[in-house]
Amino acid sequence: MTSQEIRQKFLDFFKSKGHEIVPSAPIVLKDDPTLMFSNSGMTQFKDFFLGYKQPSSLRVADTQKCLRVSGKHNDLDDVGRDTYHHTMFEMLGNWSFGDYFKKEAIEWAWELLTGVYKIPKENIYVTIFEGDASENLDRDQEAYNFWKAHISEDRILNGNKKDNFWEMGEQGPCGPCSEIHIDLRSEEEKAKISGKELVNQDHPQVIEVWNLVFMEFNRKADGSLEKLPKQNVDTGMGFERLCMALQGKSSNYDTDVFTPLIEKVEEISGKKYEGKLEDEKDIAIRVIVDHIRAVAFAIADGQLPSNNGAGYVIRRILRRAIRYGFTFLGQKEPFIYQLVDTLVQQMGEAFPELKKQHHLVQNVIREEENSFLRTLEQGLLMLDAMMNNAENKEISGSKAFELYDTYGFPIDLTALILAEKGFALDEVGFEENLKKQKERSRAAAQTKTDDWVVIREDDETEFIGYDATEGTVRITQYRKVESQKEGTQYQLVFNVTPFYPEGG
């Protein structure tokens, strides 16, 4: 089954169970102060769970673009180093907003995995929430009983609060969950050690594919749990992992979600991907094909790389990829933008926004590559010199700040390079330097604005730009603006003008 077929089968299955198929929400969140990016499928439905809004359908399903690079769910450091973590990934999900609950969620998950996708039952383990006394929560006996109808009891495992109580963030909807794990190892390996021992042990071949969350609570700002108005279901299945399981691969990067991108990197760089875990070149290729997806989808959804907030997260991810290409694939010229064509070919059908923004995405990435590559080489030389001169294998905060300020090195990139060479970094010192710089620029940005001086009475500026791009004008008012940053400037108001202000 191709990845496209796998995605479609999921959507068709839930459609047949009365679900409305809805589009993915943007990966970038603009109106949620508690989150920067969609980190799971349920983010767009948060208000339905909380009872603030009514959904058009009580059952929906979709595939959601997710990004886990900051906050409570952050997988960035694992990306490239293992075979199954990603910055951007797709989450297939089905939801019930106060409609069906545990019984159907469990039944349908089982039917889809074993009946439609034909995953052998003997490769599946499930977990249920064991309860937590500190939160006054009981063991999820109900879920246990529903699972018992499908799977032998020795495959139903207890899980603790960390693994089996899902929360969106520090606040928000949450609830006990039941995870489905698949053992993809060979029979020989299974005979040596039971899959049961490897569930939730970070084994690359015994992996969680699907999480069924039974949303019943809201975590409030004071940390307490309150019951939601209704019982809901929120499920999330890792699409790339599912593809790995169904395509008989041992790495997500060997599925057709990633192979076209990897082939493109091979073509550009002339380097062959060998799929080795410890190999720097292979890590670099995995990082690049992972990061391009995160960056491309974020830009397509309107988040340009920038120096703060969500834009800086995107810039950091892209700069990380650029540096991997530079150091380990010898790419001294922009090249990541060239992967956009391949990505659009692969995913433009399922995510039309990518197709629509194809050229914008490409241009923005190329520009970012251009600008970072201008300083990267010098920055790396400087970092080498710092390491050569360092005592105790540690780089000070002020030196890291110099790299950030002069060469555009995000702090996590500096930390990553240092860690590769066994060096530590004074991150606290870096933050202090950053804070001081912010204070300096805030002071510099402060302005003193005088009152308007009226030279001639004229309440409206006439716009002549439809007919002319030049004209003779008179100044009707002016005022003086002084700032440390810009010096003394004058603002002028004319009686006529060809200039048209853009805003909004």
**Interface residues with ligand SER (CB under 6 A)?**
40-42, 93, 166, 211, 213, 234-236
As measured in angstroms, the least distance from the Cβ of 49 to ligand SER is 10
As measured in angstroms, the least distance from the Cβ of 172 to ligand SER is 10
Please give the angle made by the CA atoms of 237, 239 and 242, to the nearest 5 degrees: 85
Identify the CA nearest to 417 among candidates 450, 366, 383.
383
Which backbone phi and psi does 350 adopt, to 5 degrees? -75, -30
As measured in angstroms, the least distance from the Cβ of 207 to ligand SER is 13
Helix (H, G, I), strand (E, B) or coil at 248: coil
Contacting residues for 469 by C-beta, under 8 A, at least 6 apart: 498
* Closest to ligand SER by CB, 232 or 476: 232
Counted residue by residue, the chain has a size of 504
Identify the CA nearest to 61 among candidates 20, 107, 98, 18.
20
* Closest to ligand SER by CB, 234 or 240: 234
As measured in angstroms, the least distance from the Cβ of 32 to ligand SER is 15
Contacting residues for 11 by C-beta, under 8 A, at least 6 apart: 21, 61, 62, 63, 92
* Closest to ligand SER by CB, 66 or 347: 66
DSSP bridge pairs for 182: 124, 207
* Closest to ligand SER by CB, 127 or 331: 127
DSSP bridge pairs for 137: 132
* Closest to ligand SER by CB, 245 or 413: 245
Contacting residues for 356 by C-beta, under 8 A, at least 6 apart: 300
As measured in angstroms, the least distance from the Cβ of 203 to ligand SER is 19
As measured in angstroms, the least distance from the Cβ of 293 to ligand SER is 18
* Closest to ligand SER by CB, 100 or 372: 100
As measured in angstroms, the least distance from the Cβ of 211 to ligand SER is 4
> For residues 303 and 253, is the Cβ–Cβ distance under 8 A?
no
* Closest to ligand SER by CB, 87 or 346: 87
* Closest to ligand SER by CB, 42 or 383: 42
> Environment class of residue 244 by beta-carbon count within 10 Å: exposed (0-12), middle (13-18) or buried (19+)?
buried
As measured in angstroms, the least distance from the Cβ of 235 to ligand SER is 5
Sequence letter at residue 257: V
**Per-position b or e across 348-376, b if 16+ CB within 10 A of its CB:** bebbebbeebbeebbebbbebbeebbeeb
* Closest to ligand SER by CB, 42 or 245: 42
* Closest to ligand SER by CB, 213 or 354: 213
> For residues 414 and 455, is the Cβ–Cβ distance under 8 A?
no
- The residue with its CB nearest to ligand SER is 236
Structure tokens at 96: 């019930």
Structure tokens at 294: 């995160």
DSSP bridge pairs for 462: 496
As measured in angstroms, the least distance from the Cβ of 5 to ligand SER is 22
* Closest to ligand SER by CB, 93 or 195: 93
H-type alpha helices, 216-357? 239-246, 259-269, 280-300, 309-328, 339-347, 352-356
* Closest to ligand SER by CB, 234 or 301: 234
> For residues 165 and 176, is the Cβ–Cβ distance under 8 A?
yes
Q: How far apart are CA 310 and CA 312, in angstroms?
A: 5
What does R_g of the chain's alpha carbons equal in angstroms?
A: 27
Q: How far apart are CA 57 and CA 14, in angstroms?
A: 13
348: DSSP letter: T
Tell how many helices (H) and how many strands (E) occur in the chain.
16, 19
As measured in angstroms, the least distance from the Cβ of 37 to ligand SER is 13
> For residues 84 and 251, is the Cβ–Cβ distance under 8 A?
yes
* Closest to ligand SER by CB, 43 or 346: 43
As measured in angstroms, the least distance from the Cβ of 263 to ligand SER is 31
Q: How far apart are CA 295 and CA 283, in angstroms?
A: 18
As measured in angstroms, the least distance from the Cβ of 93 to ligand SER is 5
As measured in angstroms, the least distance from the Cβ of 220 to ligand SER is 18
Sequence letter at residue 343: L
> For residues 476 and 454, is the Cβ–Cβ distance under 8 A?
yes
